[in-house]
Structure 1
Amino acid sequence: MISRTTIDNVFETARVEEVIGDFVHLKKSGSNFKGLSPFSDERTPSFMVSPVKQIWKDFSSGKGGNVVSFLMEHEHFTYPEAIKYLAKKYGVEIEETEQTDEQKEQANERESLYLVSEFAKDYFHKTLLETEQGKAIGKTYFKERGFTDATIKKFSLGYSPDSWSAFTDEALKGGYQLSFLEKTGLTIVKGDKKFDRFKGRVMFPILSMSGRTLGFGGRILTSDKKAAKYLNSPESDIYHKSKVLYGIYHAKQSIAKEDNCYLVEGYTDVIQFHQTGIENVVSSSGTALTPEQIRLINRLSKNITVLFDGDAAGLRASLRGIDLILEQGMNVKICTFPEGEDPDSFAKSHSLEDLTLYLEEQAQDFIAFKASLLAKEAENNPIKKADTIRDMVVSISKIPDAIKQEVYIKECSRIMDISETVLFNTLAQLLQKERRDAGKKTTQQQETMQVIPAEPEKVAKIDVQFELERKIIELLLLYGTLEEEFEDLILETNEEGEISFTPEKSNAKVFEKIYLDLQDDEVEFTNTDFKELYFEIINRLNQQQDLKVETLVNQLEPHKAEAVTDILMQEEKYQLHDWERKEIFVKEKDKSVSQIVSETILNLRRELVAKKISELSSEIEQQTQAAEKENSLQDIVDYLTLKKILSEKLRRVL
């Protein structure tokens, strides 16, 4: 167990904008930050972070909360793991008890896979550094690649002994279950026999954006032609190769800072760049680039520079990945190295200054690069040149931004010496064909589906009381301690029975006004979460005369914290749309708080009266005695009179 004091220290030290900034590229938006949702595929920001309130809200998925809830949602941490992650990041001391074998068995399957993978990373690294075989074979290989001890430690590079089950035996001895060793792919089980998957290979741990070990890449060092040169962990519940990039954990802060990401092919390319001094670099680990990997970069930066080896043999095939990047609305440049060089060898033989200068000077916009590459192939062949131009327009058609499309069409026209009109017509044809194909696909899907007559669409009925109770919580959270002048309307009746209202003004804090008015009417919240939140907030305000929302959120259960976050962040939602830049100005609520408070309480009273009238009307239908019906009818008349009075008060308030 982690002590409450330690948890409080973590919350006091951690900054939500800094932690989330490690995973999402955030931009300043007034007093807040905004960015692309890490939980859904989007091109316009719907993700908001409030440094003042120390909370976040994702309007596209509805998720929200504090810094811990973000790590739990994004990295699938348990609560203790999130606390430990933050404690490590901010240097907060934390008491931690050693896990027993029984506790390891009780951990859920996903967490068990993480535990096994973390153990394997430490085991392979220790084997490399401390065993004779590891030093003689594994460490020698890395030293030959030019990697320093600091680099080997930074990337937790390791070595798997050239023995059939050395790792598996050690893991089993440490209390780790064979089933989890098999599910991570670290151990191959065939009947009664167990084998180490990465036997005799140097090991590259593959980490998530938060630094959790997901899987491994292993390189063989012998000349065995039957064995694959590189071997990756198989797909598992925690490792999906299409959704992870090698080096993203070490590169994320540099990518966001430099606002650019270098994309290479291999593990050693990434490591050598880091050692030279360029850290905003990741690798697709030898797999074809996927939309999920691109979106991972997109959270941190809109700019990608793809680095290709000097060997142009597979270059054209690799260009297909460029179209994928363009489809995601990102800016892409391409840089190739001299013939016979790759990012690893070039970085190894050049200083940081030379490497940086080379990347700046040689990186070309994708359209210029593609034109130069394809033009070489076309040479003086008109047919090939036409195909080249069409290929370039196909890439431009992938760009979702119409303005960028036009700019690139003009650039293509200039480079390839062809009229803009022809290119625009070709682009229009391609886009029209895409829409037509998409329409056909939809039609085919509809034809294969069983047609079921649609039921009349039901309009969701608004739960008025829920909205009003939520509004009261919002007012307490945002303006609870604010002192306002309230105008109460005192009901008076003259000798003729005519009703009139006399205004009476008084000063009070918002929470006092709400509490006393609801107490007078003995109003009870119907929503359990709102009821508990109401008393929690009122008690804190009565005792402390203050309410720190960030402290409140940190101490609430996750589902209540999410409800509070949703309420608090609705205030900032309009910032996502840059309304002020479009000369649409939103009225700030704190300019009419007393009016909103009075209006909300009156509306809640009126809603409760309306419900009471409805209940009495239903009771009359069940009643058989005349006296009972007469009493119920009189009650309804009284409540209707009260409703009329409340409506008149509300009209005057508004």
Structure 2
Amino acid sequence: MIHKSTIDTVFETARLEEVIGDFVQLKKSGSNFKGLSPFSEERTPSFMVSPVKQIWKDFSSGKGGNVVAFLMEHEHFTYPEAIKYLAKKYNIEIEETEQTDEQKEQANERESMYLVSEFANTFFQNILHKSEQGKAIGLSYFKERGFTTETIQKFGLGYSPDTWDAFTSEAIKKGYKLEFLEKTGLTIVKEEKQFDRFKGRVMFPIQSMSGRVLGFGGRILTNEKKAAKYLNSPESDIYHKSKVLYGIYHAKQSIAKEDNCFLVEGYTDVIQFHQTGVKNVVSSSGTALTSDQIRLINRLTKNITVLFDGDAAGMRASIRGIDLILEQGMNVKVCSFPDGEDPDSFAKQNTIEELTAYLEENAQDFIRFKASLLQEESKTDPIKKAELVRDMVASIAKIPDVIKREIYVQECSRIMDISEDVLFDTLAQIRNVDVKDQRKQQKQGEKPLEVVKQQVQQQPKINEQNGLEKKIIEILLLYGTHEEEFEDLVMKENDEGELFLEPELYTTKVFEKIYLDLQDDEIEFTQNTFKEVYKILIDQLNQQEDFKIEHFINQIPPEVAYEITEIMMDEERHALHRWSDMEIHVKKKEHSVSQYVSDTILNLRRYLINEKINELSQEVKAQNFENNLNILEDIRDYQTLKKLLYRKLNRVI
């Protein structure tokens, strides 16, 4: 267990915008930051970070919370793991007590798989640096590739012994379950035998954006014809190769800083570039580029430079991934190396200055690169040239931005010496076909119209009480400690016996006004989350003169934080959608806090009275005449009270 003092220090030290900035490219937006949601697919930012409040809100998915909640959501950390991650980031010493065997047993399956992967990573590194076989085979191979000791340690490179079950036996001896060794793919289990998947290979740990080991890539060093040169961990609950980029953990800050990402093919390409000094580089690890991998980069930058080997076959195979990048609305450049060279060998032979100069001088816009590559094949063949032009326009059609599409059409017209009108007609045809295909797919997934109508009719009614309870929580969070002047309309009787309302002014704190009014009316919250938050809030506002929202957020469960952050970031939502640019001005509540408080409480009373009147009206139908008289008197009294409330709210019945 982590001591509370450590947790408090972590919360006091960690800066939300810095932590999230490691995973999402954030841009200043007034006093806040905004970026693309890391939890959903989008091209327009709906993710907001408030440095002042130290909370974040993702309006596209509804998620939100503090810095720990973000790590738990994004990286699937447990609470202690998130605290440890932040402590490591900010060099905070962790004080904790030893876990009991029972506590270890309670760790869930995903956590167990992560623990197994971390153990494997340490094991392979120890074998590489401390065993004779590891040093003679694995370490010498990495040295031959030109990797320094510092680089080898930084990327956690290792070696798996060339024996059948060296790793598996050691893991079981240390108490790790065979079940999780198999689920991570580190051990292959057949009948009553088990053996190491990566036997006799140098090891490349594959890490998440936060540095967690998800899986491994292993390269064989012998010339066995039946064995694959590279072998990756199989898909598991923690490793999905289509959603992971090799090197993203070491590259993320540099990608955001340089506002560009170099995309290569292999592990050693990434490592060699990094060692030379170009750190904003990642790899798809030999798999075809996927939309999920592109979105991972899109959180950090809009610019990708794809680096190809010198051979034409490899370039043609990889160029297909460019269309996927364009579909995500990203800017693509392409750079190839001289024949016989790849990113690894070229970086190894050149200094940082020479490498960066080459990349700057030879990186081409994708349309120029595609034209130069395919023109070699078409040459003087008009049919092939027509196919080439259509291929280029098909790529342009993937671009969502209409202005960019037009500029690329003009560029394509100039390069290929063909009229813009023809290209625009072709573009329109391709896009129309794409739109029809999308509609067709949508229709295939749709249900008959009658069913949709039935579903619409069954939509649940909006719960007005929940909305009012939410407003009360909002008021307590934003203005609970404010002292305000309130006006109460007190009912009095004049000399003629007529009732009238006389205003009385008094000053009190907002939370005291709310608490006493709800107590007087014996009103209790019905929504469980709001009931829990209300109790904690009132306690803290009563006990703490220097109540701070960020401290309160850190003390509530993540699932409760979702509701709270939505309330806290409500005004940031207006900024996100730039309503003021459209002359839609949202009134700030602090300009009339006392009125806002009074109206909210009165509206809650009004709602509850209406509900009571409806309840009594139903009873009238079920009761006998004598009982009805009593109920009708109650209804009359509630109607009188309702009229009074409407007068206070300045409404006409």
TM-score bin, normalised by smaller chain = over 0.9
Q: Is the 8 A contact 1:14 1:86 kept in 2?
A: yes
Q: Which residue is equivalent to 2:557?
A: 557
How far residue 579 of structure 1 moved from its aligned partner, in angstroms, is 2.4
Q: Which residue is equivalent to 1:319?
A: 319
Q: Which residue is equivalent to 1:286?
A: 286
Quickly say closer, same or farther: Cα 1:602–1:283, change in 2 above 3 A.
Answer: same
Whole-angstrom CA distance in 2 between matches of 1:648 and 1:106: 59
Q: Is the 8 A contact 2:245 2:284 kept in 1?
A: yes
Q: Which residue is equivalent to 1:645?
A: 644
Whole-angstrom CA distance in 2 between matches of 1:386 and 1:237: 46
How far residue 543 of structure 1 moved from its aligned partner, in angstroms, is 2.1
Whole-angstrom CA distance in 2 between matches of 1:559 and 1:105: 24
How far residue 79 of structure 1 moved from its aligned partner, in angstroms, is 1.0
Using the TM superposition, name which of 540-549 and 67-76 deviates more.
540-549
Aligned residue identity for 2:564: V
Q: Which residue is equivalent to 2:398?
A: 398
Q: Which residue is equivalent to 2:256?
A: 256
How far residue 492 of structure 1 moved from its aligned partner, in angstroms, is 3.0
Aligned residue identity for 1:256: A
Aligned residue identity for 1:379: K
Whole-angstrom CA distance in 2 between matches of 1:452 and 1:598: 44
Superposition CA RMSD, Å: 1.9
Q: Which residue is equivalent to 2:206?
A: 206
Quickly say closer, same or farther: Cα 1:652–1:504, change in 2 above 3 A.
Answer: farther
Quickly say closer, same or farther: Cα 1:453–1:5, change in 2 above 3 A.
Answer: closer
Using the TM superposition, name which of 92-101 and 222-231 deviates more.
92-101
Whole-angstrom CA distance in 1 between matches of 2:650 and 2:624: 39
Aligned residue identity for 1:485: E
Q: Deviations over 1:41-81 (max 9, x none)?
A: 11111111111111111111111111111111111111111
Whole-angstrom CA distance in 2 between matches of 1:102 and 1:516: 46
Q: Which residue is equivalent to 1:507?
A: 507
Q: Is the 8 A contact 2:3 2:97 kept in 1?
A: no
Map 1:582-621 to 2 at 5 A. 582-621=582-621
2:440 is the counterpart of 1:409: no
Quickly say closer, same or farther: Cα 1:570–1:117, change in 2 above 3 A.
Answer: same
How far residue 452 of structure 1 moved from its aligned partner, in angstroms, is 5.7
Q: Deviations over 1:340-372 (max 9, x none)?
A: 111111111111111111111111111111122
Map 1:219-230 to 2 at 5 A. 219-230=219-230
2:630 is the counterpart of 1:635: no
- Structure 1, unaligned runs of 5 or more: none
Q: Is the 8 A contact 1:613 1:636 kept in 2?
A: yes
Q: Which residue is equivalent to 2:351?
A: 351
How far residue 497 of structure 1 moved from its aligned partner, in angstroms, is 4.8
Quickly say closer, same or farther: Cα 1:404–1:4, change in 2 above 3 A.
Answer: same
Whole-angstrom CA distance in 2 between matches of 1:504 and 1:352: 76
Q: Which residue is equivalent to 1:185?
A: 185
Aligned residue identity for 1:560: V
Q: Is the 8 A contact 1:540 1:546 kept in 2?
A: no
Whole-angstrom CA distance in 2 between matches of 1:257 and 1:251: 10
Q: Deviations over 1:263-305 (max 9, x none)?
A: 0000000001110111110000000000111111111111111
Aligned residue identity for 1:649: K
Aligned residue identity for 1:181: L
Using the TM superposition, name which of 90-99 and 292-301 deviates more.
90-99
Secondary structure of 2:2 counterpart: coil
Q: Is the 8 A contact 2:308 2:314 kept in 1?
A: no
Whole-angstrom CA distance in 1 between matches of 2:211 and 2:2: 21
How far residue 508 of structure 1 moved from its aligned partner, in angstroms, is 2.5
How far residue 498 of structure 1 moved from its aligned partner, in angstroms, is 4.1
Secondary structure of 2:262 counterpart: strand
How far residue 138 of structure 1 moved from its aligned partner, in angstroms, is 0.4
Quickly say closer, same or farther: Cα 1:99–1:158, change in 2 above 3 A.
Answer: farther
Secondary structure of 2:313 counterpart: coil
How far residue 136 of structure 1 moved from its aligned partner, in angstroms, is 0.6
Map 1:291-302 to 2 at 5 A. 291-302=291-302
Q: Which residue is equivalent to 2:147?
A: 147
How far residue 445 of structure 1 moved from its aligned partner, in angstroms, is 5.1
Q: Which residue is equivalent to 1:422?
A: 422
Q: Deviations over 1:372-430 (max 9, x none)?
A: 21222222222221111111100000011111111111111111121111110000000
Q: Which residue is equivalent to 1:91?
A: 91
Whole-angstrom CA distance in 2 between matches of 1:652 and 1:181: 69
Secondary structure of 1:637 counterpart: helix
Q: Is the 8 A contact 1:488 1:505 kept in 2?
A: yes
Whole-angstrom CA distance in 2 between matches of 1:420 and 1:501: 76
Whole-angstrom CA distance in 2 between matches of 1:533 and 1:101: 34
How far residue 3 of structure 1 moved from its aligned partner, in angstroms, is 1.4
Aligned residue identity for 1:647: Y
Aligned residue identity for 2:329: G
Secondary structure of 1:586 counterpart: coil
Aligned residue identity for 1:93: E
Secondary structure of 2:456 counterpart: coil
Map 1:71-82 to 2 at 5 A. 71-82=71-82
Whole-angstrom CA distance in 2 between matches of 1:92 and 1:558: 23
Whole-angstrom CA distance in 2 between matches of 1:108 and 1:526: 33
Map 1:164-175 to 2 at 5 A. 164-175=164-175
Using the TM superposition, name which of 470-479 and 89-98 deviates more.
89-98
Quickly say closer, same or farther: Cα 1:231–1:146, change in 2 above 3 A.
Answer: same
Secondary structure of 2:526 counterpart: coil
Q: Deviations over 1:71-105 (max 9, x none)?
A: 11111111111111111111111124555666544
How far residue 560 of structure 1 moved from its aligned partner, in angstroms, is 2.1
Map 1:559-578 to 2 at 5 A. 559-578=559-578
Q: Which residue is equivalent to 1:267?
A: 267
Secondary structure of 1:341 counterpart: coil
Secondary structure of 2:48 counterpart: strand
Quickly say closer, same or farther: Cα 1:478–1:279, change in 2 above 3 A.
Answer: same
How far residue 432 of structure 1 moved from its aligned partner, in angstroms, is 0.9
2:303 is the counterpart of 1:303: yes
Whole-angstrom CA distance in 2 between matches of 1:268 and 1:278: 13
Q: Deviations over 1:291-345 (max 9, x none)?
A: 1111111111111110001112221221110000001111111011111111111
Aligned residue identity for 1:178: L
Number of equivalent positions:
651
How far residue 439 of structure 1 moved from its aligned partner, in angstroms, is 3.2
Using the TM superposition, name which of 210-219 and 450-459 deviates more.
450-459
Whole-angstrom CA distance in 2 between matches of 1:526 and 1:446: 37
Quickly say closer, same or farther: Cα 1:436–1:27, change in 2 above 3 A.
Answer: same
Q: Deviations over 1:466-508 (max 9, x none)?
A: 1111101101101112222222223233344544333333333
Aligned residue identity for 2:592: S
- Relative to the length of structure 2, the TM-score reads 0.96
Q: Which residue is equivalent to 2:55?
A: 55
How far residue 571 of structure 1 moved from its aligned partner, in angstroms, is 2.2
Q: Which residue is equivalent to 1:41?
A: 41
Whole-angstrom CA distance in 2 between matches of 1:489 and 1:103: 58
Quickly say closer, same or farther: Cα 1:445–1:481, change in 2 above 3 A.
Answer: closer
Secondary structure of 1:572 counterpart: helix
Whole-angstrom CA distance in 1 between matches of 2:185 and 2:532: 47
Whole-angstrom CA distance in 2 between matches of 1:59 and 1:113: 31
Q: Is the 8 A contact 1:187 1:197 kept in 2?
A: yes
Quickly say closer, same or farther: Cα 1:567–1:178, change in 2 above 3 A.
Answer: same
Q: Is the 8 A contact 1:23 1:299 kept in 2?
A: yes
Whole-angstrom CA distance in 2 between matches of 1:562 and 1:8: 21
Whole-angstrom CA distance in 2 between matches of 1:422 and 1:491: 80
Using the TM superposition, name which of 71-80 and 541-550 deviates more.
541-550
Quickly say closer, same or farther: Cα 1:453–1:68, change in 2 above 3 A.
Answer: closer
Secondary structure of 1:307 counterpart: strand
Whole-angstrom CA distance in 1 between matches of 2:587 and 2:520: 32
Whole-angstrom CA distance in 2 between matches of 1:649 and 1:100: 61
Q: Which residue is equivalent to 2:526?
A: 526
- Relative to the length of structure 1, the TM-score reads 0.96
